[in-house]
Every structure is written in structure tokens, then in C-alpha cells.
Amino acid sequence: MYLFGEKKENQETAPVKPPLVSVIIPVYNAADTLRRAVDSVMQQTFRDFELILVDDGSRDAGGVMCDNFAARWPDQIRVLHKENGGLISAWTSGVGISRGRYLCFVDSDDWIDPEMLEKLSGQLKHGRAASQDASPVCLPGQIICCGYLIEYGNGRTRAVTHGLPEGIYEGERLEKELKQELLGHEMRRVIPSRCMKLIDRPLIEQNIRLLNPEIHMAEDLSITTPVLLSASRVVLMNDPLYHYAFVQGSMVHSYNPHLYDQYQLLRNQLRNVLAEKGIPSDVSEQEIRVRREYYFLFLNILKNEIRRKDGPNATGKAIRRIRELCLAEDSRALSASCQDRLTDRSYRLLALICRKPSPLRILLIRWIFLLYERLR
């Protein structure tokens, strides 16, 4: 592990004032999209930031590109080269060397609007400084969140917003409307991604210890949950200032034989987080929240299985595996735990399987899914 572009201070060099914001981009085999991501950060109208590029053992030209960017913008870009350790390892390593009061995460295949940092930082609440001559200071525990656009690559986009109305959540409103209802809803109260947010650094630093490095799917939920439950002020904006590139063949959108095991780890981690934070205060109510949240994770497990195309007799393997999973999880009881009226069409179809996983029903719904994907 080594840093590129780190300036050494000497006795004649004045200490460098830390930036307000550190933007962290994990980089792994991202040579095709990295320039777009970096350019979108460097074109920000807000300038009080640094950019940390974490080369997570890239096997393509991404690592060299990181160094070239740092050479071009030596005052704002630093590069950390490390052995490959996965997404959590990459962005937590970036946090470790960053200097900003607030942290902002961008993925290497995405990009952000030129005014994103300006609009997010403009929502920060300031308090009085200790000295009358000093600048106002940001109050602790703040998270500023915006919406995003899914970019499908064919000119088609879809805006994603929060489940709660735009506004400022503090005090009783924060506790009742956001924290108590954070988990267990089809439309997330707050977009669970670590991206498209400004996060007060201590909220990340204090909760990193709760991460399970073995979780490689939906890992953002494993950090944003304790961070949001620890916040003292959350601002929700629906402006789609972040651009998420939809890649059909990516790990997120392709069959993963390990998804069920991954979501078991995530379920246990969420259980531990709620217990530590004491939200809700009643232990049985905590378990209800986890169970409701797991229902939506389970629907994604079924979606993963129903679209599998792994060799001969994939249809037969999908039917057998789905029935096995539904039996193991008592899918009817799991379905009954849901309090929301499902709005997503794919969820509604998968809920039919959850309630009655007959081979014929699974087969018909699999045909519908595969036909939709072929036409999309």
C-alpha cells in the first residue's frame, strides 16, 4: 500500500488547511469509465474539496490513470494504491487517509452533476464558533442526501427519490419518521446508498467497526443503516444530482449463486446494528423490523434465482432452488410480515411465488421475467 502525490511538509511549510469535503472513489478495473467520474468531480462549482482515488489492485490501466490525474491536479487529488480487498476495504482505506470534515462517495462507473457538492454543502447547518473572530462551524452529526438518475445507456433515464418527503429531519421528527421507520419498507425512507450524500466524518469513523468485510452484496446498507441511526440531522433532497450507470452484465444485475448466503450475513448484521443503537427500543420490535427488511431482500433472492441462466436445465434448477428457499424461510409467514402494498411490478410477481411456490407458478413467472429482459 502506498500513496502517490502526497506532499511532505517541512519546517518552512505552513500546515495545509483541510478541505471541507473529501470525495472518495474506489477504483478497480475501471479504465473505461474512470475519466468520466473524475472529470465530473473536478468540474464542481464548489472547490473546497479533495479527491481520493483508491486503486484497489486494478489489473487494467486504472491505476496508472489515477497517478496521471494526481499529476494533473496535484493540489486536489491523492492516490492510494493497495492490494485488492473489495469495495468495503477500498472505501474505508480512502476514509483513513482523507482529511475533509465531510465525506462523499462516488463509484468509478458513475458521475455527478457539476453543482452537486455546492447544493449539498449549502444545506449544512452552522453554529457559533468558540471565538467571535473564527468562522462559523458545522454542527456535528449531519447527513445531506440527494436523489439520483439511473442511466440505462440508451438515452433512457429514471429518477429515484427518497421514500420520505423532502425536508429537514431533526429531533422528534428524525426519531419517529426516519429512524424508527428506516427498515422494512419497499420504498426506502432514505436511499440506502453511501453515494449521493455528504456524511459527517465521525458518523463513518464511529460505525466502521460494525461492518462485516465478508459482505459483498448490498454492502452500502450495512454502513448507511448505523450511520443514519447515529445522525442528529438529516436533510433529504430529491434533486437527481448523482448519475448511476446501469450495467446489465454487472455483478449486481447478473445471477449470483452466493446471494442467499450474503443476505444471511446482512440480516445478522442489521440485527446487531439495531440492538446496539436501541432503535426501536423494544427487542421484539427490532426483530420485526429486521424481518420486514429481510422480506425485500428475500424477494431479490428469488429474482436472482428466477433469472439464472447457468447452463443446461437452468429452468429446472431455478424451480428446485426457489422451492427449497421458500420452504427453508417459511415464505408465507415472511410474506405476511410485509406492511406495504407493493408497487414494483417485479416485486408483485415475486410475492406470488413467496405465497405459493408451485412449480407451474414459478415457471410462468420465470418466462415473464426472461421475456421482459429480452425486450428491454
Look at 13-27, 189-203, 232-246 and tell me which has the smallest mean pLDDT.
13-27
Whole-Å CA distances, 284 to 210, 271, 279: 21, 11, 11
pLDDT for 302 equals 97
* Cα distance between residue 2 and residue 210, in whole Å: 26
Confidence of residue 120 (pLDDT cuts 50, 70, 90): very high
pLDDT computed for residue 138 by the predictor: 87
Sign of CA dihedral 257, 258, 260, 263: negative
Report, as an integer, the average pLDDT of 329-353.
Answer: 93
Whether the pLDDT of residue 229 is over 50: the answer is yes
Q: What pLDDT, in 10s, does the model give residues 11-22?
A: 455 567 899 999
What is the pLDDT, as a whole number, of residue 20?
97
Closest to 106 (Cα-Cα) out of 185, 40, 11, 187: 40
Contact present, 19 and 50 (Cβ < 8 Å): yes
- Per-residue confidence at 3, pLDDT binned at 50, 70, 90? confident
For 54-69, what is each residue's pLDDT tens digit? 999 999 999 999 999 9
Given a cut of 90, whether residue 346 has pLDDT beyond it is: yes
Average pLDDT in the chain: 92
Predicted confidence at residue 11, as pLDDT, reads 43
Tell whether the model's pLDDT for residue 8 goes beyond 70.
no
Enumerate residues 6+ apart whose C-beta is below 8 A from 54: 24, 25, 26, 27, 79, 80, 82, 90, 91, 93, 94
Residue 253 has pLDDT above 60, yes or no: no
Q: What is the pTM of this model?
A: 0.91
Residue 131 has pLDDT above 70, yes or no: no
3-class state of residue 296 by DSSP: helix
What number is the average pLDDT over the span 205-209? 94
Residue with the three cell numbers 471565538: 131
Is the pLDDT at 257 greater than 80? The verdict is: yes
- Average pLDDT on 231-245 reads 97
Q: Quote the CA–CA distance of 235 and 102 in Å, as a whole number.
A: 14
- For CA atoms 306, 311, 316, 321, give the dihedral sign: negative
> Of residues 375 and 72, which shows the higher confidence score?
72
